[in-house]
Amino acid sequence: MCGIVGYIGREDIKEILLDGLRELEYRGYDSAGVAILEDEEIQSFKAIGKLKNLEEKTKNFSTNGFGLGIGHTRWATHGKPTELNAHPHLGEFSYVVHNGIIENYQELKKKLIQKGYNFLSQTDTEVIVHLFEENYKQENETFKAFEKTVEMLAGAYAILLITKADPNTIYFAKNGSPMIVGNDEKGDIYFGSSDAALIGKASEVIYLSDGDYGYTKEGEIKIFNDKTEKALQKKPLIGDKISAQKDGYRFFMEKEIYEQSEVLGDTIMGRVLDEKIKFDELDENFFEGINQIQFCACGTSYNSALACSYLFERQAKIKSFVEIASEFRYKEPLLSKDTLFVVISQSGETADTLEALKMAKKAGLKTLAICNVDNSSIVRISDYTLLTRAGIEKGVASTKAFATQVMVMWMLALYLAQIRNTMSAEELKAEISTIRHIPKTVIVEDSLHEKIKRLSKRYLHGHGFFFIGRDLFYPLALEGALKLKEISYLHAEGYPAGEMKHGPIALADSELFTIALMPKSVHYDKIKSNVEELSARDATILAISPLEFDLADDFIKTNYSDHPMSEFFEMMVITQLLALEISVRLGNDVDMPRNLAKSVTVE
Ligand code: AGP
């Protein structure tokens, strides 16, 4: 997730762009940049880190006549957060900003290099500006060149492009990544990745659809789709900035739950091909001599690793074990060099995980980070990194970070299965097709959310919760219980369903709430008898399953799928929403629960 802005008009262009970027900084802050075209000259400024660094760099620059500009705040996906990789990217006479991922950038880049184009950055974005200039050479007409460029791009994008070849115009295109264009009464034009960047400036806006592209000049907006001009569907822009940042959701956590479909799409983009998994970030030789994997993490990241350890053993047939980082550090672990040490962290700054990583490095192990924040301490220290691409997560209770971690590790398990030849081509294809379907699986239906809102009122008291599941669904039960604890302050435990009879069942009575994860694809009969045992002791049961279960007090029906991961992701969303709605009813601060911090940088 990055943020982009654009402006055409007579106000101070830099101030308008910086104002917009300030509102979008929640989308990413690895680096920021602007390009401003005034009197046929383009000035560009970039700075790594937060926006204040760009503000400092541009403090002596201002405009005071007609002009236009584009700006960007970056959340790195391809290439490190350096100034060269920061947007806008320049060609010979044009500049571009982009949010999304150009999937075919490597083949385009190769062709452009053969034609003599020189690339300065490691980004996928830079191909757009060179491609546009190459097309302009052939077409000699800017709009045609832009249209042709857009046609040649595959992947997700929101693009703004300015060029000295047509100095009064901003070209734009949108596919899969958000973009809004608006105007004020004077005819000044504004672009932004979300309402927040336009509130207080534009009076009416158009929410661009996938496949839209076009151009804007002072007082003029032209939108095309599939080479046909579209009628402009303008809407008045109202609202306040904070709620715009939350995109109309009550809490960031709620927004982040709803965002999971989009970010999972980003996570798999360019990595899941028709018949194989590809990670540009990895070198296959890196895995030579590796016989086992040691995962190490804290909290939610630990739960995601535990879930995926089942996949690594089953799919890649590699011994996998998982350790809580704070335990690992002091157990004087025996480490052997045939072990790949994988740390998982949303923030990349968790002290316990970071220290565990340093220990593994010191012992000479190969290391890999699964992380959401590029250039974080954990990323800098690890030999290799796979970014989860979840975008900034503001809610202290992790949701989309968990979803994307699981997805990255599932893809990694398949990648290793390819290298180790532990799966047939047919099996791999089936996995790939399930992965592609997951972003749809996590879309939140209104009816589901409404049902959970209603159900939540029955789960506010009692003497505790047990989330139970088996197999992959045991770590999901741990994660469901962690979510509930964090934001409701109610006592909840995640437990392997088969283990209840070895002790905890003693707690069962009508005041004990059991959240039973009962997928059809994994040991349904086994978990069913575990839940029956609890029901016989009068525990209150909320069953989550595709199969009706008569003994449940409450029941949430899921879709039947024969792939455990589809059931896993669907149940994940249900447990997140349940925690959210219980917390809301209890009147708690959902996004900033008491006693917790987003990133735990102390022991
Ligand atoms: C998750 O909801 C938590 N807030 C917490 O458990 C978190 O996952 C843990 O502190 C690890 O953080 P990290 O992923 O940033 O390393």
pLDDT one-digit tens code per residue, 219-242: 899 999 999 999 999 988 876 666
| 379 touches ligand 1 (CB under 6 Å) | no
Site of tokens 């184009």 = 117
Q: Which pLDDT score, from 0 to 100, does residue 2 have? A: 80
Contact 318, 287 (CB under 8 A): no
Clarify whether 110 is annotated catalytic. Answer: no
How far apart CA 558 and CA 406 sit, in angstroms, is 20
User: Which amino acid does the sequence have at 442?
Assistant: V
On average, the pLDDT of the chain sits at 93
Contact 17, 7 (CB under 8 A): yes
| 599 touches ligand 1 (CB under 6 Å) | yes
Q: What is the mean pLDDT of residues 177-190?
A: 93
pLDDT over 80 (residue 197): yes
* Mutate-to-test residue for ligand 1 from 252, 256, 300, highest number of ligand atoms within 8 A of CB: 300
Contact 129, 90 (CB under 8 A): yes
Lowest mean pLDDT across 70-79, 225-234, 355-364: 70-79
| 345 touches ligand 1 (CB under 6 Å) | yes
Q: Which pLDDT score, from 0 to 100, does residue 168 have? A: 95
Q: Which pLDDT score, from 0 to 100, does residue 248 have? A: 82
CA distances from 345 to 2, 303, 427, 601 (A): 20, 11, 30, 12
Q: Indicate the pLDDT class of residue 79, thresholds 50, 70 and 90.
A: low
Q: Is the dihedral of CA 481, 503, 545, 317 positive or negative?
A: positive
**What atom of ligand 1 comes closest to residue 399's alpha carbon?**
2
Angle between helical axes of 564-585 and 400-420 (0-180°, round to 10): 170
Q: What is the pLDDT of residues 284-322, one digit of tens each?
A: 999 999 999 999 999 999 999 999 999 999 999 999 999
What strand order describes the sheet that includes 366-371? 319-324, 292-297, 339-345, 366-371, 384-387
User: Which amino acid does the sequence have at 510?
Assistant: S
Q: What is the mean pLDDT of residues 485-496?
A: 96
Q: Which pLDDT score, from 0 to 100, does residue 238 have? A: 73
Q: What is the mean pLDDT of residues 266-271?
A: 91
Q: Which pLDDT score, from 0 to 100, does residue 74 have? A: 82
Domains of the chain: 3-245 (3.60.20.10), 252-437 (3.40.50.10490), 446-585 (3.40.50.10490)
Clarify whether 234 is annotated catalytic. Answer: no
**What atom of ligand 1 comes closest to residue 401's alpha carbon?**
14
Q: Which pLDDT score, from 0 to 100, does residue 77 have? A: 66
565 by Cβ neighbours in 10 Å (0-12 / 13-18 / 19+) ranks as buried
Q: Which pLDDT score, from 0 to 100, does residue 78 have? A: 64
pLDDT over 90 (residue 246): no
CA distances from 280 to 65, 338, 387, 511, 534 (A): 45, 23, 11, 51, 48
**Hey, which residues does 207 pair with through a beta bridge?**
180
Q: Which pLDDT score, from 0 to 100, does residue 230 have? A: 96
From the list 233, 232, 188, the residue with the least C-alpha distance to 17 is 188
Supply the DSSP symbol for 277.
Answer: B
Q: Which pLDDT score, from 0 to 100, does residue 367 have? A: 98
Q: Which pLDDT score, from 0 to 100, does residue 542 have? A: 97
How far apart CA 490 and CA 574 sit, in angstroms, is 18
pLDDT over 70 (residue 183): yes
| Helix (H/G/I), strand (E/B), else coil: 324 | strand
Backbone angle region of 310, left / alpha / beta, with phi > 0 → left and psi within -120 to 50 → alpha: alpha
pLDDT over 90 (residue 68): yes
Contact 356, 383 (CB under 8 A): no
Q: What is the pLDDT of residues 550-585, one digit of tens each?
A: 999 999 999 999 899 999 999 999 999 999 999 999
pTM: 0.78
| 600 touches ligand 1 (CB under 6 Å) | yes
CA distances from 348 to 210, 280, 495 (A): 33, 20, 28
Structure tokens at 74: 């970056």
Q: What is the mean pLDDT of residues 439-452?
A: 96
How far apart CA 257 and CA 482 sit, in angstroms, is 15
| Helix (H/G/I), strand (E/B), else coil: 191 | strand
Site of tokens 């390009």 = 35
